[in-house]
Structure 1
Amino acid sequence: MAFDKEKALKMCNDFAKNTLMETLNIVYTDAGEGFLEAKMPVNPSVHQPMGLLHGGATVALAESVGSAASLLFVNPELQEARGIEISANHVRAKRDGVVTGTARIVHQGRSLHLWEVKITDEQGRLVSLCKITNMILPRKR
């Protein structure tokens, strides 16, 4: 069965309604075999007191795109992904514009998925490098 990019993006954006992702204006913008991408605007609503992108907002983007990416590998009617560990290294400050989070699969097991998530600016420069581990569980009805 071929990967359906439009269906994947619709599913991810539909899941984001009425959640933190919607509050942070995170939008899933690209998907393919082994990756998922989302964008988040950088403005005062995601700043820390010094006027820079808050590390917590960056991690929220990384966890959102990494967790949603796991849903592309499972049947979301039968299984769900839960983030169990995340780490982040912030390497560049950002005051405004847009950041892009791109999750790429590192390990896809039956019960654990490991993702590398790169957060970049409009010029493709690395803002943060994150790693997220998701546990895959049966969906509770």
Structure 2
Amino acid sequence: MEKAQAQILVNIHEEITKGTFTDIQIICKDGTTTENRIVLAAMSSYFRAMFSSDMSESQTGVLNLPTVSLSVFEDITKMCLCGINLVSEDNYMEVIDAAAMMQLDNIKQLCVLHLKEGLTLTDKNCLGWWRLLKMYN
């Protein structure tokens, strides 16, 4: 049964990626995409509250995410729907910031796991580490 449920979520992600059944425009800091409100609301209480209230996003069908890159938004959506871990050395900082904003604790945990298991301190990433540790204690 779990395999069938997982396949349904993968199919939903594929349809949204094609632009099918989308009802909200997402404007990120470096691009635009479309999404489905029910999928976003199912992913996070952040979106659920937004779309079930009188906030402008529920009225206009446009969601502005000015601090989130398009690629990170797409990666987060794919991780939530398809159960694929896309956290990497290149995106972990942006992913954890976006996941914190969107109240996606499971995605934040993937970032923490990545940090615990695979990240080493270098002269190139030490400021990023400091920022992350200071922000998230």
TM over 0.5: no
Q: Which category of TM-score, normalised to the shorter sequence, fits these structures?
A: under 0.3
Query: Taking structure 2 as the reference length, what is the TM-score of the superposition?
Result: 0.28
Choose between structure 1 and 2: higher strand proportion. Answer: 1
Structure possessing the higher radius of gyration over alpha carbons: 2
Relative contact order, higher structure (CA 8 A, sep 6+)? 1
Choose between structure 1 and 2: higher helix proportion. Answer: 2
